[in-house]
Structure 1
Amino acid sequence: MDYDKARELMVEQQVRPWDVLDPRVLEVMATLPREAFIAPAHRNLAYSDLALPLGHGEFAMKPVIEGRALQGIAFEPGDDVLVIGTGSGYLTACAGRLAREVISLERHADLADAARAALAEQAVGNAQVIHADALTWTTDRRFSAILVTGAVDTIPQRFVDWLQPGGRMFIVRGRSPAMEAVLVRNDVNGVRIQSLFETDLPYLVGAAPAPTFQF
């Protein structure tokens, strides 16, 4: 398979038409080999408009959603980034190419190991994958940008607390199938939430709505 050609077509026929126009985002998606982060069984689908299975019921986002997430958060070269839900490691690698430093949390040890290996293979030396559950992990660090790769019913306060003043977070919230991707900003006058687009993602483990009783 010609992965270089498939990558070019992904950017030009999927990502750009979905209003991803930030040149830095398009450049990183056009040059970073997404197939290197996908398991061999699904590697030929790395540039398809599909959410690809990673194991444990987890999925890699579609490329168009990855592009919109990267554009929405608007990484700066000096950003300290937290990725919640490493998954394949692809978005962590993109963030590493766009920002100063990345901490990436993954609750499944085997996915964390695979992501570390892929990041090392692609020489993304400014990204660290930590085997941890974001809903129980603790840190004194604050981040200028947070990228959450799974949906939540409501935004956990702990995620907001990890934002520096002026920091921003991309996250998808709500109830399937009509969820909302939003940008959360920790401004001087309080937290502001900006709607970006509608989508539908699997929930982070522990962040789904509580089941309701049905008569």
Structure 2
Amino acid sequence: MPAPPLRTLTTSSSPPAVRPRPGFPARLEPSASGPRTSPPALTRGQPAAPLARPSTPSGVGMDSQAVRAAMVRKIEAQGVSHAGVLAALRAVERHRFVDTALANQAYEDTSLPIGLGQTISKPGVVGRMIELLCQGRHDKLGRVLEIGTGCGYQAAVLSHVAREVYSIERLKGLHEKARENLRPFRLSNLHLLFGDGMLGYARGAPYAGIIAAAGGNDIPAAWIDQLAVGGRLVAPAVTSVGRQNLVVVEKTATGVVRTELEAVLFVPLKSGIA
């Protein structure tokens, strides 16, 4: 039987004032200042746990668990130790998110081009950032927002460590590519959105975690507003010394705590859709 469609949603250019969790199917109101649009309804897929495995493309011998296990051992040697994160990295077949010509590099710890000037992050960086998101927790996270779906790989990994994932992409071409990449996996807890990630997605807030795959001059205020008390935000951002570093923001009842970590290199965070 054909796989049911992934949830997909087009966001408006300005978030609505009310923040309750949306029901499904959902319909967004158009922006008061922008053109009226008719976004498609959200559709619910069928649950599949663990990830359903689609048939391997001809000529690609990357479906062996041993190949992914070797990659994860290297990531573990780099310091990632969270059991849930390591299990998710072992479960998700990274070669299915890159072009077939690059599949033989899929399990190397390297970023790869995915089109439109964007890249799939190094698996070691994906593991590091998701571990920071999960730090101090051994059960699943609640609702998580991902800024920058890209090809969909990190969203698939997140779907294993969170009960619900919203992933937003500003580039229509990549949004559609992620839909196609993720469709065979039937991830019922993953929602793909097309819209401006700098605005976040207020209708799904508050979030237990927010993670970004692009770095700007600072962390957008909308993301911090949409973070739940007790939640964590992990994103690259330009620091006071003028370089891009990994930044963790923890939201407490009395304010936010910001921690700057190692230097990183991500594609620039941009506003709008294209």
What TM-score comes out, normalization by structure 2 length? 0.70
Closer, same or farther in 2 for the Cα pair 1:50/1:177, shift >3 Å?
Answer: farther
Kindly report which structure 2 residues correspond to 1:16-95, keeping only aligned pairs within 5 A, or say none.
16-74=76-134, 76-95=139-158
Structure 1: state its 5+ residue gaps: 208-215
Per-residue CA deviation, residues 91-118 of structure 1 (Å, 9 max, x unaligned), is 1111111111111001112211221222
Alpha-carbon shift at residue 128 of structure 1 (Å) = 0.9
Answering whether residue 176 of structure 2 is matched by residue 116 of structure 1, we say no
Corresponding position of 2:270: 205
Closer, same or farther in 2 for the Cα pair 1:114/1:156, shift >3 Å?
Answer: same
Alpha-carbon shift at residue 9 of structure 1 (Å) = 1.8
RMSD over aligned Cα, in angstroms?
A: 2.1
Per-residue CA deviation, residues 152-176 of structure 1 (Å, 9 max, x unaligned), is 1111111111101111111011169
- Whose radius of gyration is greater, 1 or 2? 2
Tell me the amino acid that sits aligned with residue 153 of structure 1.
Answer: N
Alpha-carbon shift at residue 179 of structure 1 (Å) = 2.1
Alpha-carbon shift at residue 203 of structure 1 (Å) = 1.2
Answering whether residue 210 of structure 2 is matched by residue 150 of structure 1, we say no
Larger RCO, structure (CA 8 Å, separation 6 or more): 2
- Answer whether contact 1:72 1:196 (CA < 8 A) is retained: no
- Answer whether contact 2:62 2:104 (CA < 8 A) is retained: no
Corresponding position of 1:182: 247
Q: 1:159 aligns with which of 208, 219, 223?
A: 223
SS at match of 2:88: helix
- Answer whether contact 2:62 2:95 (CA < 8 A) is retained: no
Alpha-carbon shift at residue 70 of structure 1 (Å) = 0.9
Corresponding position of 2:234: 170
Tell me the amino acid that sits aligned with residue 185 of structure 1.
Answer: E
- Answer whether contact 2:149 2:167 (CA < 8 A) is retained: yes
Alpha-carbon shift at residue 137 of structure 1 (Å) = 5.7
What TM-score comes out, normalization by structure 1 length? 0.88
Corresponding position of 1:127: 190
SS at match of 2:233: strand
Answering whether residue 258 of structure 2 is matched by residue 193 of structure 1, we say yes
Per-residue CA deviation, residues 60-86 of structure 1 (Å, 9 max, x unaligned), is 111110110110000752510100000
Deviating more after overlay: 127-136 vs 192-201: 192-201
How many residue pairs match? The answer is 206
Alpha-carbon shift at residue 3 of structure 1 (Å) = 4.1
Identity of paired residues, percent? 28
- Measure the CA separation in 1 of the matches of 2:85 and 2:242: 27
SS at match of 1:151: coil
- Measure the CA separation in 1 of the matches of 2:141 and 2:213: 21
